[in-house]
Structure 1
Amino acid sequence: MSSDEVAYLRAAGVGFAVDLTTPVPTVLHWGEDLGELSPEGLAALALTGGPAVPINSLDVPRLFSVWPTEAEGWVGTPAHLGHRGGAATTPRPRLARAERRDLDEGGGELVLVLDDDVSDLDITLVYRLDAHGVLAVTAKLKARAARPDYDLAGVTAMLPIPRRAAEVLDFTGRWLRERSPQRRALTHGAHVREVRRGKPGTDSPYLLVAGVPGFGFRSGEVWAVHVGWSGDQRYLAERLPEGAGAHSAVLGGGELLRPGEVRLSPGAEYHAPTCYFAWSGDGLDGLSARFHSMLRARPRHPVSPRPLLLNTWDAVHFDHDLDRLLALTETAAKVGVERVVLDDGWFRGRRDDTAGLGDWYVDETVWPAGLTPLVARVRELGMQFGLWFEPEMVNLDSDLARAHPEWLLAPSAGVGPPSRQQYVLNVANEDAWEYLLNRMHELISEYRIDYIKWDHNRELLEAVSRERGGRDRPGVRAQTLAAYRLMDRLRALHPGLEIESCASGGGRIDLGVLRRTDRVWASDSSDPVERQMIQRWTGQLLPLELIGAHFGAERAPSTRRVTTDTFRLITSLFGHAGIELDLTRLTPDQITRVSAWAALYKEFRPLLHSGEVVRADLADDEEFLYGVLAPGSAAALYCWARVATSPELQSGRVPLPGLSPGHDYRLRIRTDVGAPGGRHRQPPAWVSAALTGWIDVPGPVLAHAGLPMPTLDPQQAMLIEVRRR
């Protein structure tokens, strides 16, 4: 077969093959690269991609195409749902044309144009396999002219997976405990996760992974999908007794559409969010390596050193006293902070969370000279200045809500229950959008703001736009697109501006918002025990330089747990580091340790923010071993941590993941922020030696045999620096 009959994309060890000879193209393979296939090899791939015809079934093979429908015998989730006035519900698309091209940076792109004369839609599917092996799938549906409106109910991008992908992993969570993993067998039926919060939420599925049973960080074949969208979402893994064509099951996702939300008038288009699919033969670390390298290759990915940040919230809350903030700023500069962010409480009427939200003017009663005295001092001390906003929300006790009740994203019959004393502003209302743009633009310009902490603290319930005549139209999609447009416009006006995506902590983390932002706030929890897990799994998709990780108070506000500053400092090192406490209340010894940590962060951030993340598979869930490797494993920094006790007195030999057995190494234990406490009178001999200086260890010992790790006390961590000899 020729390339006109089978389109074959290859990149970074991944292969993606599509049969173009069927009425609707079918995916022959997605997974490990099959190598350079000859025409005969492509023909064999197509021949072996045809399913059987079982007894007491359809008289023709059941296909699973790129746009699956019942017309092909597919009885699982269809590619799209909709109707035109109650009819046109049985789509029958056909391939109109296919175009394949190589990408300059590696990989390739396949564009498929389908005609559907039943629903009168023109469908364009784009498969883009990038140089990192990530397959981005997008779909565009265009309604043909001179036909009644088409009500679109759903669009799902799906790819087939094999029978050996028999276990699924995704995530759940809550405020202060985001991205908690959950696993189950992939049995018959659909494993569906729907998000109806108007944002991905703290219980976001985040990444749906299917793999061979028992897959881990360093082993096992896995397939995954991420929905790059900041509104309502839908994820699924589905297996039917009939299979999916020659395959066993499917993996997919897309935007969750509310009834009536998308009505395609003649000539109108619907652009589905990008779904990112990735395969790895090396477990979850292989997946994260693909996503991290993809994100780092973006034109607007942050490349300057990520500034050490101080956020004022846990230090002062709403108490915006200038002298107190100046003292905090002075201390921050002394320990090595490079960016100060003034959090909630600076605008009119904002003395607590019940009022003022939406009135984006500096409160003259608290700041009679504006923010200038603070901003000027921050800049005199050589630091950047950032400011907190929550543009998409409003208090009813605000000048904005009193003047423009029609700007609320809420039913005409009433606003419903508050959340954190706030409601949602309809950013898709053009007047509201212009107000936000003007206020934010003027403040950014006046104070030369470097950074915005963009918060989003409540769910979008009954999210409808108030229209004339009392008609309420679903508004989540329009709200999401308007928020994107606002971010895009602000960054166009202020090219150097950086934005953090914060939503009650980690409630809006996805690759849609990250096309417009430079950082996410992983969680409102600064408890390092919780953060060890939250940061581990946030890093499954995002590289460390995009993950805000802050050093907090001895007693964590989120859990009341008391931990040592050494454990808190080491935990917050692995991310875009920051400080979330009142530095002026620390003792001189604590200030010395924080200063040493700031220097350590600046020493290692070139490695942490460019290297490969590796995580060890350990039998003990209370122990963590992870690290970041430089290219070619020339250098590495590992963290060995314990969060709770376990029955074993000793951990035994543990290999350091990612190191090459073909090289020899030197290592030492860094105690810049303190030495960890352990459950032994005498630690393993190598630990005693590495605490005093470099020790030489052959690569096979580190990579294969492993090191007997010390049994740390609960809530303790240790840093191991490794360099290749």
Structure 2
Amino acid sequence: MTVHLRGGDASIVVAGLEVRHWGSALSEKSVTALADWPGAALLPLQANGHQGRPGLRGHRDGRTWSPSFEPTGDGRGQDEHSELTWWTEFDLHPSGILRLRHGLRNDGATGYRLDELIPILPLPARATELLDFTGRWGKERQPQRQPLNQGSRVRESRRGRPGHDSAYLLAAGTPGFSFDSGEVWAVHLGWSGNQTYFAERLPSGDAFFGAGELLLPGELELAPGEEYRTPWLYAAYSAHGLNGISAAFHEFLRPAKHRPVVVNTWEATYFDHDLTKLRRLAERAAQVGVERFVLDDGWFRGRRDDTAGLGDWYVDDDVWPEGLEPLISHVRALGMDLGLWVEPEMVNADSDLFRAHPDWVLHAADRLPPEWRHQQVLDLSLEDVYAYLLDRLDALLSEYDIAYLKWDHNRDLVEPGHFGRAAVHAQTSATYRLIDELRSRHPQTEIESCASGGARVDLGILERTDRVWTSDSNDALERRTIQRYTNLLLPLELTGAHVGPPRTHVTGRTHGLGFRAGTALFGSFGVEWDLTEVPEEELDELATWIARYKRFRPLLHSGRLIQTDHPDPAAQVTVVLGEHEALVSYAQLDTSLAERPAPVRIPGLKADARYRVEGEGCEPVEYPGQLLSEIGLRLPRMDPETLIVLHVTEVS
């Protein structure tokens, strides 16, 4: 039986247990002609002659380690010798996004130790170059490239979360593929725990890539009759460079509603929760047009710094003698809703919870794992822990009118053990279950995924959250790269982007308000700045930027994002294209080598239409769409670390 699915500009053709084609969209005549072509196994194994990375590794006490599956006629494969049943689920969204996952059932009478089950897709011979990402705290999603030669390229995360250095998205393409050009095949793993990404080319010339859950030693043993399903592998094909990959993912992920303007108290007050100061901050926020006020870390018992209190999820009576209601009422009266910071998966040793239940911490031996940020990790797979956290968070959301939770995760999982067994899989699954249950009880409460910045950005966590915090660095220059590549996968409205203070707390770099706000404009806009100390003229300027965000929010959060391949490496051009308009950001990152700036092309405009181009400090001009798309717009020389935002509207 041959299955042909088509979505967007992509097709997948599966015959029996083989992939005959995944890539450009095929006609039915071409699909019929593929009947006699060799395919690539959906589950590559040594038993079918595969000499590369196998799709399944496991055993029963060292035996039956090499399964061989025969089709059962219902889309499944069965191996009577290994006593296993395997199946693959896949679908192709109209956007062109392919979702793929494997399932495995233990049909035997004894346990089956599963070491790895990983979805793998074939790559054509012309895909000879790889792109993935790395990074660190405050500098996430940094691109890196290398050729896909014979051998393997493997990226693994053993952090219990994807990490700041997450591979994030693995793309393979034709030589020199870029945002604007080249064929690209890309995969992303929707899983918030340990991960493996890999690509390989065999001496035969065959090439493959994929991603799956990285299981620690002995972590997963399937009991008789037990089933395991891999996380979803998301894959996209583009004949038009990385922008085609973005377009497919953005269409697939796009939420139905636009994001409110946020003010977050962290860099304004840190742990100093003075009600008078917070009320004044809220008043200033409302004055400039903020729609959501988020109270960050420091509101719960014993939390005067980051060394104590985590786990004690009760409002601190010493700091908040009347509870949070006085602040919430004030914020609501100003026309904003309120959000609250939490970090449910963590605990401080200096907390009532830890003193009462030291055994609730993930640990691999008769010792605690090394501390990180004075924290340990709660074992959410313990029902008592899960019940405690659900009770406390449910109580907070029931007692107070809280519209939003900023859900943080500030450390890697080190020696993550549950009664001696590795437990990242169980921990991640329990976290999902906890968030899902809270969402079912409080469906109007939105949740942001934060993990010491952008260390947990994946489609697994985004199945149950509304936004990610892209990075703890609000440095606008650093953010140009961080946001550019985070948005390769995620649409703008899912990525938090804030205007920080003039001197960035993370890097010490200083920027003008225009560069900071113009960078935050292309995201889920927010402010993280002590507005009580900002002069009125700067408040007025910030209010102008927020009004601009609100004006263009429908376009920014629905239009097609195009990152152009501008010829000047010292400049960066971002375009959001709508049906009859576009918003263009030209950012001068450094001093250009050329004396005269290269023209700024605005792709996607209608060739025979006429467009008006307007921008602050520029005289409005009108040009044909073909000229703007093919030749480009000349801009004046700009200083480093400045930008201009242009609005392009169709006039005839």
TM-score between both structures, scaled by the size of structure 1: 0.89
- Quick one: distance in 1 between partners of 2:279 and 2:141? 36
Report the more deviating stretch, 509-518 or 411-420. 411-420
The residue that corresponds to 1:294 in the other structure is 252
1:368 to 321, 341, 346: 321
What value does the CA root-mean-square deviation take over the aligned residues? 1.1
Identical residues among aligned pairs (%): 49
Asked if structure 1 preserves the Cα contact closer than 8 Å seen for 2:20 and 2:40, the reply is: no
The residue that corresponds to 1:280 in the other structure is 238
Give 1:162-181 correspondences, 5 Å limit: 162-181=124-143
Residue 340 in structure 1 maps to residue 293 in structure 2:
yes
Please report how far the alpha carbon of residue 306 of structure 1 lies from its aligned counterpart in structure 2 after TM superposition: 1.2
- Quick one: distance in 1 between partners of 2:608 and 2:175? 30
Aligned partner letter, 1:580: E
Residue 88 in structure 1 maps to residue 34 in structure 2:
no
- Quick one: distance in 1 between partners of 2:31 and 2:599? 47
3-state SS in 1 of match to 2:28: coil
- Quick one: distance in 1 between partners of 2:638 and 2:27? 47
3-state SS in 2 of match to 1:640: strand
Asked if structure 1 preserves the Cα contact closer than 8 Å seen for 2:158 and 2:195, the reply is: yes
Give 1:114-153 correspondences, 5 Å limit: 114-145=77-108, 147-153=109-115
Please report how far the alpha carbon of residue 27 of structure 1 lies from its aligned counterpart in structure 2 after TM superposition: 1.2
Residue 574 in structure 1 maps to residue 534 in structure 2:
no
Asked if structure 2 preserves the Cα contact closer than 8 Å seen for 1:354 and 1:397, the reply is: yes
Please report how far the alpha carbon of residue 34 of structure 1 lies from its aligned counterpart in structure 2 after TM superposition: 1.6
Asked if structure 2 preserves the Cα contact closer than 8 Å seen for 1:64 and 1:74, the reply is: no
Deviation per residue, 1:464-520 (Å, 9 max, x gap): 01x3xxxx1111000000000010000000010100000000000000000000000
Please report how far the alpha carbon of residue 617 of structure 1 lies from its aligned counterpart in structure 2 after TM superposition: 0.4
Please report how far the alpha carbon of residue 644 of structure 1 lies from its aligned counterpart in structure 2 after TM superposition: 1.3
Asked if structure 2 preserves the Cα contact closer than 8 Å seen for 1:172 and 1:180, the reply is: yes
- Quick one: distance in 1 between partners of 2:365 and 2:116? 26
Please report how far the alpha carbon of residue 622 of structure 1 lies from its aligned counterpart in structure 2 after TM superposition: 2.0
Aligned partner letter, 2:493: E
Asked if structure 1 preserves the Cα contact closer than 8 Å seen for 2:298 and 2:304, the reply is: yes
Please report how far the alpha carbon of residue 661 of structure 1 lies from its aligned counterpart in structure 2 after TM superposition: 1.8
Aligned partner letter, 1:44: A
Please report how far the alpha carbon of residue 81 of structure 1 lies from its aligned counterpart in structure 2 after TM superposition: 0.3
Please report how far the alpha carbon of residue 97 of structure 1 lies from its aligned counterpart in structure 2 after TM superposition: 2.2
The residue that corresponds to 1:109 in the other structure is none
- Quick one: distance in 2 between partners of 1:497 and 1:313? 21
- Quick one: distance in 2 between partners of 1:10 and 1:601? 36
The residue that corresponds to 1:209 in the other structure is 171
The residue that corresponds to 1:227 in the other structure is 189
Asked if structure 2 preserves the Cα contact closer than 8 Å seen for 1:661 and 1:704, the reply is: no
3-state SS in 1 of match to 2:225: coil
3-state SS in 1 of match to 2:287: helix
Aligned partner letter, 1:464: G
The residue that corresponds to 1:53 in the other structure is none
- Quick one: distance in 2 between partners of 1:385 and 1:434? 25
- Quick one: distance in 1 between partners of 2:132 and 2:79? 34
Please report how far the alpha carbon of residue 130 of structure 1 lies from its aligned counterpart in structure 2 after TM superposition: 1.1
- Quick one: distance in 1 between partners of 2:592 and 2:31? 53
Query: How many residues get paired?
Result: 651
Aligned partner letter, 1:503: A
- Quick one: distance in 2 between partners of 1:613 and 1:42? 32
The residue that corresponds to 1:105 in the other structure is none
Deviation per residue, 1:135-161 (Å, 9 max, x gap): 10011111115x210000001101101
Asked if structure 1 preserves the Cα contact closer than 8 Å seen for 2:218 and 2:422, the reply is: yes
- Quick one: distance in 1 between partners of 2:532 and 2:329? 20
Aligned partner letter, 1:15: S
- Quick one: distance in 2 between partners of 1:13 and 1:326? 52
1:45 to 12, 28, 34: 34
Aligned partner letter, 2:6: R
Give 1:188-207 correspondences, 5 Å limit: 188-207=150-169
Deviation per residue, 1:196-243 (Å, 9 max, x gap): 000000001000000001111111100000000000000011100113
- Quick one: distance in 2 between partners of 1:666 and 1:515? 40
- Quick one: distance in 2 between partners of 1:213 and 1:534? 24
Residue 267 in structure 1 maps to residue 225 in structure 2:
yes
- Quick one: distance in 2 between partners of 1:652 and 1:285? 21
3-state SS in 2 of match to 1:368: coil
3-state SS in 1 of match to 2:72: strand
Unpaired segments ≥5 residues, structure 2: none
- Quick one: distance in 2 between partners of 1:446 and 1:374? 14
The residue that corresponds to 2:45 in the other structure is 69
Aligned partner letter, 2:128: A
- Quick one: distance in 1 between partners of 2:170 and 2:18? 22
The residue that corresponds to 2:600 in the other structure is 654
Report the more deviating stretch, 701-710 or 371-380. 701-710
2:569 to 618, 621, 633: 621
The residue that corresponds to 1:528 in the other structure is 476
The residue that corresponds to 1:239 in the other structure is 201
The residue that corresponds to 1:683 in the other structure is none
Please report how far the alpha carbon of residue 86 of structure 1 lies from its aligned counterpart in structure 2 after TM superposition: 1.1
Deviation per residue, 1:225-267 (Å, 9 max, x gap): 0000000000011100113xxxx31110100001111100101
- Quick one: distance in 1 between partners of 2:251 and 2:218? 39
The residue that corresponds to 1:108 in the other structure is none
- Quick one: distance in 1 between partners of 2:180 and 2:81? 48
Residue 718 in structure 1 maps to residue 611 in structure 2:
no
The residue that corresponds to 2:275 in the other structure is 322
- Quick one: distance in 1 between partners of 2:101 and 2:227? 13
The residue that corresponds to 2:408 in the other structure is 455
Deviation per residue, 1:297-322 (Å, 9 max, x gap): xxxx3x33311000000000000111
Please report how far the alpha carbon of residue 620 of structure 1 lies from its aligned counterpart in structure 2 after TM superposition: 2.4
- Quick one: distance in 1 between partners of 2:6 and 2:322? 60
Please report how far the alpha carbon of residue 186 of structure 1 lies from its aligned counterpart in structure 2 after TM superposition: 0.4
Please report how far the alpha carbon of residue 90 of structure 1 lies from its aligned counterpart in structure 2 after TM superposition: 0.9
- Quick one: distance in 2 between partners of 1:549 and 1:627? 17
The residue that corresponds to 1:639 in the other structure is 585
Aligned partner letter, 1:317: Y
Aligned partner letter, 1:486: L
Asked if structure 1 preserves the Cα contact closer than 8 Å seen for 2:113 and 2:218, the reply is: yes
Please report how far the alpha carbon of residue 43 of structure 1 lies from its aligned counterpart in structure 2 after TM superposition: 4.5
- Quick one: distance in 2 between partners of 1:118 and 1:600? 66
Residue 411 in structure 1 maps to residue 407 in structure 2:
no
The residue that corresponds to 1:430 in the other structure is 383
3-state SS in 1 of match to 2:305: coil
3-state SS in 1 of match to 2:511: coil
- Quick one: distance in 1 between partners of 2:31 and 2:134? 41
The residue that corresponds to 2:397 in the other structure is 444
Asked if structure 2 preserves the Cα contact closer than 8 Å seen for 1:501 and 1:520, the reply is: yes
